[in-house]
Structures are given as structure tokens and as C-alpha cells.
Chains A and B, each alone.
Chain A
Amino acid sequence: MGESRSLTINGRSHSVSPEDPETPLLYVLRNEFGLHGPRFGCGLGQCGACTVHIDGQAVRSCVIPLSSLKPDAKIVTLEGLGTPEAPHPVQAAFVEEQAAQCGYCINGMIMTSAAFLKDKQKPSEAEIRQALAGNLCRCGTHARIVRAVQRAAASL
């Protein structure tokens, strides 16, 4: 095993010892911590399915080597964003709008939108579309996703 590193994930401190410090965060989250919210889509940072928050910013965990993380980085995954009992407004809005088909990309849609809405109050539809321009969905759920983000924005 490699050198031990500390990580703060969803508000809890953990220590990991990856064999390769260049292991992208995505695989650590999924395979070491069983956090399956972030998903593998391309490994290239192109699709957004792996999005997590680091210090409040939406980032693509498939291209973030563990070695690049600051020791005090605060990582939040979809699991840490909210729960059915205490949902994040974006999650509640996605359920309300039935904004998923296969749902594989939805982690990225929710995590990107949640970070976007933190900085942007009352966004226009065009601004929402632009904020999600780098997130790919193949089922064609875009219209519902935009409606869900509008609904969440109105509730914030």
C-alpha cells in the first residue's frame, strides 16, 4: 500500500492509502468508500457523470488525481448532498419533475446545478442551459432537467 492520505468526504474524515497516488478521485470514492453517486462515464472530463463538489466547486472526479487534492479539501458527493428525509432543493426538484430516464448522468446534473445555484440567484433558462452545457445526457432528459433546475432556483 502507498502513503496514507486524509480526505474529508461528506463531512467525515477518512484516511486512504492508494497504491498509486495518481489514482483519480472517482475510483477512490466508488471503490474504497462505496459512494456510487459519482459515475464513470468517460474518464476524460468530457461528460460530467462523475461530478463531485470540492470546496463547493463542481469538479470532474475522473480526472482529479488524489495527489492533487489539498489535505483539507472538502469533498461532497451526491450521497452527501441530501437524503430523502433531508433533500437538497435540487434533488427534491428533480424528483418532483421526474427528471430522469436512465438517470446515469443525473449525478452530474444535480451536482453541477447545486454548485451553480449557490452562486447564481434567479438564473434565466439560457443561463441554466449554459451552466449545464458541459454535461451530457443521451436519453434526452434535458427539458425536464432544465425545468427541475428552474424549480429548485425558485425554491432557494
Chain B
Amino acid sequence: MPATQFSRRSLLQGGAIVVGFSLSRALPVAAASGTAPSKPVALDQVDSYLSLERDGSAIVYSGKVDLGTGVRTALTQMAADELDLPLARVRVIQGDTALTPDQGPTYGSLSIQNGGTQIRAAAATARRQLLQLASERLGTPTDTLATRDGRVIPAAGGEGIAYADLLKDGHFSLKLDKDAPSKNPDAFSFVGKPVARLDIPAKIYASFTYMQDVTLPGMLHGRVIRPPAIEARLTSVDEASVAGIPGLVKVVREGDFLGVVTTSEWAAIKAAEKLSATWSKAETLPEQSQLWEHVRATPVVKEDITSNVGDADGAMANAARKLKATYDFAIHTHGSIGPSCAVAQPEGDALTVWTASQMTHALRTQLSAMFSLPPEKVRCIYVEGSGCYGRNGHEDAAGDAAILARAVGKPVRVQWSRADEHGWDPKGPPTLIDLAAGLDDKGAVTAWSSQFHIPMGAAGSVPLVAATLAGLPHETALAPGNIVHNSAIPYGFPNVKTVCRRLATTPLRPSWIRTPGRMQNTFANEAFVDECAAAAGIDPLEYRLRSMNDPRGIEVLKRLATLAKWESRPSPKGDGREAGGGVQTGRGLSYVKYELYRTYVAALAEVEVERSSGMIRAKRVFVVQDCGQIINPDGVRNQIEGNVIQTVSRVLKEEVMFDRSRVTSTDWASYPILTFPEVPEIVMELIDRPREKPWGAGEPSAAVIPAAISNAVYDAIGLRLRSVPFTPEKVKTALQRT
């Protein structure tokens, strides 16, 4: 290998060690120049995903990143198995625009399903090529060779050849073959096993470097001062108000963007607090008490018909019995425990940003547009931050850091405050759903019709706050995520029409919160199916099974019934009257086939409802999931537990509060989430299908929780809750109406 090659490769490794392993507190600047080192990143090249090192290790380059979900461990398992390497000799570099292929944002429960499958295919292609190269070198057919422990070895014996020695210049220079034969699942050493998370010890012993811990030599600290009202204009800034703060470097104003840069973090906090500025008045938000009227009155841009079977309108007209209901799901925040943070370093006309973004490639595109820089002059490097449950504030903090760093010509770290995070992260939009069903004289659904009032737009890039405030180039389209999913239903009713009415606007900047759309839509669908079952006087499990023909879906429901000792009977449990002690109990189930083509989940919630206070307690939640081939069962369990608890919190407690100008729920007191004493017991069963595709597990189980709780409350007290969150006030109001 020529010397120049070594130096290029060591540069790559320098970045690799920092980003992948976070061994070092201070990141070496040399390894992270805005000018990208030349490494293949094209999606169709094996070298883009994989590098076999001379020390016998492999580096996996993943565009998908670990958001605290354990994906790095799972990807390591998949690559190690396919390459016949021990886990300890596989490293994963994540989300570095200079080094990793653009495998798309880390969202939609696709990291394993898409990202992992691509990496697996790259490794399988590589393994086949290594066997071929060894066959040529040894003059023996490939079927007399095996791969083991980083070497190609003759089956007859002998020490064989190390992988790296088979590659001329360390490269495969080979197209990825997505059909390259993957290993027989029976031969997996790691896939399917509860391998311990690679990152957990460092997190427990405080040696893990989170985004919030990144420091650079000469780094300054920044904070932003957001407008007191959305769309307020900055009319004046009194810099004298902060002149006395030691360590103040600069007050940065660009349009309506306002920030401070200081030498210490505390000085930045104080300066942001004390900086006196005047803003115009703005009242652009609707009255919160009129939110649903506002949503209903918002202009509809288009209608997406997500399913249309038979003649729903005709069948509805002829139905023996008709049911109608309206469901709503409040505006929610992501609520990461660590507010967003980023470090930006300008270097001439280049820009490097360290970010916990779930989509570093898309962020690079946004930053290059924002500053009119060619994309190759912008490098975004992923560093894991506090848990990320969708597009939260990480990208925005990167935009803030970039503006401030360019203003002072030095690296700047921006740390959002708690109020910045709660107030300015993009929100899960309000969702309003009208449903109608027609039943025949036996109670079976003959017609199903629904309208989802949801903002227009899909995924894409959410406009950066800094670019918007500063008047720099930015997107203008709404990007709430692919929220039409699971508006159609997994039941074979004869006449079905489901329509998404796409609204021109929504009150707060929207984005995808975990299980976007699927959670809100499944809430309405699965609770309304329960309403139909109750109207028919039929056991809700039986009612669902009668309209299903998907064997995998049927199996999760049947296994759930066994796991939770389902007692076959219609809901509600009693006559709705108080059973004694003022507390009534109930059980409710819910089912989803995620996006109607993948992961199957069924859940059952057991709740207590205290009539006097209106308090609902989720006591126990049972979950059965089939996500195909399971890479790491403990990782899947961890994700399901997380989904259950986070969604119980959303359903029982959470609602973004706002006045006509701004979000007012800007801390954990005004936006409470579930606490330890309120957390349900979780019982689950996983169905592993090692020969099927590995489907997503990070989101689907959140979809079934809201309806399971609504159905359980109905079972307990005979009252239907259709408005998330199910606060004690709403329960009491409902009880008083009866």
C-alpha cells in the first residue's frame, strides 16, 4: 500500500474513532475539516458501507444513526454475522456526511429494515467477493473455502488469508448486490441473540460523549433569544443591557434572529436572560379553547383517499344502524430530556457541524442552502444526543450554532434552554378525525367511512428556525411526516372509504413525533372499531378476528388473548355504575398492522378509573409483536417498553399549551410527563421469524396504546374517551354528563 494511501486512510480512521467510539472528549479538529476526505459514499458501492482494515477489524459506515435505541449494536450484530467477525472487531461510524452513505433520515422505524438490510447486503457482497478473490489466489473453488474470524480458510485446513490481504488497495471497488446470498439464519452467531448494548457501559460509567459533551479547542458558548411571540419582529436590541457580563463576546442579530456568544456557558445563559430587546406584537395562533373549530375551519388543500373499497356511502345509507364519532389528539412535543445542542466550526468558506440530527445529510442540504455554500463545503457529523423521538430541535440548534459561529469566526456551541426546547421544537400537529360506520342487523360493519383533518405535506425537511428568523433561504412547505399512514384499516369490511383532508396550515411548526400519524390515526380507528363491537354487543377480540384474514395479524391477537388471559365478553364490563371503593377496572385491546404492510402489534391495557378524581391509572399493558426477523430481542423489548411508557404518558397527560402568541407550556411543570409511580407493568411476547425480513420495531407499538387505554376506560366505566389526553377533568366531565 503506498504511503499516501496510509495517510488518507488514517485520516478517515481519525474521524472514525472520534465519531464512532467517542473515546476522546476533545475532537481533533484535523480529522473534521469541512473539506470532505475522499471516501466513496454512493449507495450502490460496497466501499461506501464497509472498510476492512489491516488490523483485522471492519468499519461499517451507516447513514442511519443510533438515537438511543440500540441500533448501533444491532447493526454491529448484522455486519459481524455476515462477515464472520467477532463483535469486538466491527466498528460503526454513523451519520457523517463525509464518510457515510446517505441512507435517508433515521425515522419511520427503518434503521434495521432499510439501513441494516443495505449494510447486510454490502457485507454479503463483500463476503462473496472475498471468497472469489481467495479462490483465485489459492487456485481452489469457492465451495472449498469458508470465512471465519476475518479470514478466508480452506475447508480442508490451513491458515488461509486475512480479508485485508485479499484487497489490492483496501477497496472492493464493487457494486453492492442486494441479492448477494445472505447467511443462513441457522448459522448466525449474533443476530437473534440479546447481545448487550455496546454503548451502555460507557453511559453508566460517564465516559460516553454525548452531543452535549462535545468541545473543541477555542470553542465559545452561544444561546439564542427567541421572539416572545411567533412571527414577532425584532425592532431593537439594547446591547448595553449585557455590557457588564464578563465573557461576553458578541450579540448577534440577523433579521429576527438574536443570539449571544460568550466565553463560558453560564455567561451565555445570563446574557440571554438579561439582553433587552423589543419585539413587535404578534397573535397568530388560534384560541386554544377553539382549537378543533379552528382545525375544522382550516382550508383543505387536497384530499388523499387512502382506501376505497366497494361503495361506502351507498352502504352507509342502507345500514340498519349507524354510528358516528369524532376523535382528536392534542398537539404534542418531543420532550427529550436533554435540550438540543450543536457545535459549529467555520473554516474559511467551509462549515463543520457536530449534531445529534437524525438526518445529517438533509441537514447539510439545509445549511448549504441557508448560507449559499456548495454542499461539499458543509460537513455534518452525528454525535448521539439525548433521546430523539422524531424531528425535534437538534437540526435547529445546528442552524443556530452555524449562524453564531460564522458571526464570530470561531467554533460555537449552542445549548438550547428547556424553554427553547419546549417552546420551539417542532410539534406533533393537532389531529381531528371523523368516523362513521354502518352496521347490519347482526352488528357487522357494512360501511366504514373516515375523514382525517391533518396538515398537508409529508416528511422532507422542517424549516430551520434560525434560517426562518434570519430571513435566510429555507423551506416553506409543511413537513409533518408521512401522517396519512394507518388512516386505512386492517379489516376486510365490504365498503370502506378513508380520506385525509390535507389542511393548508396548522397552528405550530409541525414535524413528525414518534409514530407520526400512525399513533393518532390508529387511536381513532381502533377505538371506533371498539365502539362498533360494543354497539353490536360482541366481544371486541372476536369482532376484530371476524374481519381479518391475515394469519400473522390473527396470530398476534390470539397470542395476546392467551398472554393476557382474555375473558371473552362484550364491553363494557358492568353497567357502568360504581363497583365499590370509587375505583373501577377495565381492559381494552388494540391492533395495528404498521402501514398495512409490516410489523404487527396487538396490545391490551388494564386500567383503573377513580370516579371521584377522574384519574385513570394504566396498571398493566400486555404487548405481542411480530416484526419479522428479530436482530436483538432485548433491544426490541427495550423499544416496546419505551413505546408503551412514552405513549401512556402522551395519552394520559400531555398537551402543548399556548396562547395567541406562543407556547406557554415551556417546562416540565406545565407539560408534565409520566413519572415512576404512574408507570404500568409491561408484559410482552415477541414472535421471532428468523427467515422473514427484519421489520421496524422503534415505532409500531406506540400506535396501539391510545386506543387500548380508551377501550379499557370504556370497559371500566362505560364512557368513551375520544380526546387525547384523557385528563381527570375530561373524565369527570364525561361522568357528570351521565
Contact = CB atoms under 8 A, between A and B. Distances in A.
Interface of A: 18-20, 23-24, 27, 30-31, 34-37, 39-44, 46-47, 49, 77-79, 82-84, 87, 91, 94-95, 98, 100-107, 110, 126, 128-130, 132-146
B601 to A, nearest CB: 15
A133 B638 contact: no
A64 to B, nearest CB: 13
B721 to A, nearest CB: 22
Given A46-B669, A146-B676, A19 B387 contact: no
| Centre residue among B335, B634, B675 by max chain A CB count within 10 A | B675
Nearest to B681: A143
B387 A102 contact: yes
B437 to A, nearest CB: 33
Contact of A42 (B196, B208, B634, B667): B667
Given A23-B266, A100-B197, A105-B337, A41 B418 contact: yes
A103 B208 contact: yes
A100 B673 contact: no
Interface size of B as a range? 35 or more
Given A20-B246, A102-B68, A142-B676, A136 B646 contact: no
A122 B248 CA distance: 51
Nearest to A84: B205
A23 B264 CA distance: 10
Interface stretch (B209-217, B274-282, B370-378, B533-541): B209-217
Contacts of B337: 41, 47, 49, 102, 104-105, 136-138
A140 B643 contact: yes
Given A44-B668, A98-B634, A110-B204, 15 more contacts: A19-B246, A34-B25, A35-B206, A40-B339, A41-B338, A42-B667, A47-B337, A78-B206, A95-B201, A103-B68, A141-B645, A142-B674, A142-B679, A143-B682, A144-B641
B266 A20 contact: yes
A43 B269 contact: yes
8 contacts: A34-B25, A94-B200, A101-B387, A139-B642, A139-B646, A140-B642, A140-B645, A142-B679
A61 B157 CA distance: 61
B338 A31 contact: no
A20 B26 CA distance: 25
Contact of B200 (A100, A132, A133): A100
B679 A47 contact: no
B203 interface: yes
A58 B675 CA distance: 18
Contact of A139 (B68, B267, B675): B68
Contacts of A126: 677
Contacts of B265: 27, 30-31
Contacts of B486: none
B676 A132 contact: yes
A49 B341 CA distance: 15
Contacts of A84: 201, 205
B70 interface: yes
B246 A141 contact: no
A128 B385 CA distance: 27
Contacts of B387: 101-102, 104, 138-139
Interface string B23-63: 00100000000000000000000000000000000000000
Nearest to A49: B337
B656 to A, nearest CB: 15
Contacts of A140: 641-646, 649
A37 to B, nearest CB: 4
Contacts of B203: 100, 103, 106
Closest 8 CB pairs of A and B: A102-B68, A140-B645, A102-B387, A103-B203, A37-B206, A140-B642, A104-B386, A42-B418
A138 B206 contact: no
A141 B206 CA distance: 18
Given A102-B384, A138-B646, A144 B677 contact: no
A19 B267 contact: yes
Contacts of A23: 266
| Centre residue among B197, B418, B673 by max chain A CB count within 10 A | B418
A132 B646 CA distance: 17
A107 B206 contact: yes
Nearest to B270: A20
| Centre residue among B212, B213, B675, B676 by max chain A CB count within 10 A | B676
A83 B515 CA distance: 37
B206 A136 contact: no
Contact of B668 (A34, A42, A130): A42
Interface in B351-393: 384-389
Interface in B201-249: 201, 203-206, 208-210, 212-213, 246-247
A98 B668 contact: no
Contacts of B129: none
B246 A104 contact: no
B67 interface: yes
A101 B682 contact: no
B589 to A, nearest CB: 20
A146 B675 CA distance: 12
A143 B206 contact: no
Interface in B264-320: 264-267, 269-270
B67 A102 contact: yes
Nearest to B25: A34
B608 to A, nearest CB: 15
Contacts of A107: 206
Contacts of B646: 138-140
Contacts of B213: 30, 36
Nearest to A20: B266
B393 to A, nearest CB: 13
Contact of B677 (A19, A20, A49, A133): A133
A125 B197 CA distance: 25
B667 A46 contact: yes
A40 B386 CA distance: 10
B505 interface: no
B665 interface: no
A104 B210 contact: yes
A144 B644 CA distance: 13
A141 B675 contact: no
A138 B389 contact: yes
B425 to A, nearest CB: 12
Given A98-B196, A136-B668, A138-B389, A39 B212 contact: yes
| Centre residue among A77, A100, A130, A134 by max chain B CB count within 10 A | A100
Contact of A103 (B199, B668, B669): B199
Nearest to A77: B206
B200 A95 contact: yes
A2 to B, nearest CB: 9
B675 A101 contact: no
A111 to B, nearest CB: 10
A37 B213 CA distance: 10
Contact of A43 (B67, B417, B649): B417
A130 B675 CA distance: 9
Contacts of A146: 676, 679
B69 interface: yes
Contact of B675 (A34, A105, A136, A143): A136
Contacts of B209: 36
B97 interface: no
